[in-house]
Amino acid sequence: MIYAEDLGVPPELEQRFERWIWKYDDAHDPSSHRLPLERKPEINAEGEALAKELKGLLPDTYIEYWGEAKKGIYKKEITGV
């Protein structure tokens, strides 16, 4: 794992990533290891938006987002913004 300070990510963006991770963890159902179906669109949209913002700061870096679909997970490469 690469840390934000190693990439030169602005502290504000780093804090938004941390809040998103906390939101994900708070919504996560420990018995199923998944997000509740009704929370997936909101949390995925926020996570993808953060990944796109990161890509804008690091255009030459490969970035992907792993989200939760109705069943299972999906991987999405984040390309030019």
Say yes or no to pLDDT of 12 above 80: yes
Q: Mean of the pLDDT values across residues 33-51?
A: 92
Q: Do the Cβ atoms of 76 and 65 come closer than 8 Å?
A: yes
Element (H, E) at 52: helix 40-57
Tokens for 11?
């502290």
Say yes or no to pLDDT of 4 above 90: no
Reported confidence tier of residue 1, pLDDT bands at 50, 70, 90? low
Tokens for 22?
């906390």
Q: What is the pTM of this model?
A: 0.86
Element (H, E) at 61: none
Could you give the CA distance from residue 75 to residue 77 in angstroms, rounded to a whole number? 7
Q: Do the Cβ atoms of 40 and 24 come closer than 8 Å?
A: no
More confident site: 50 or 1: 50
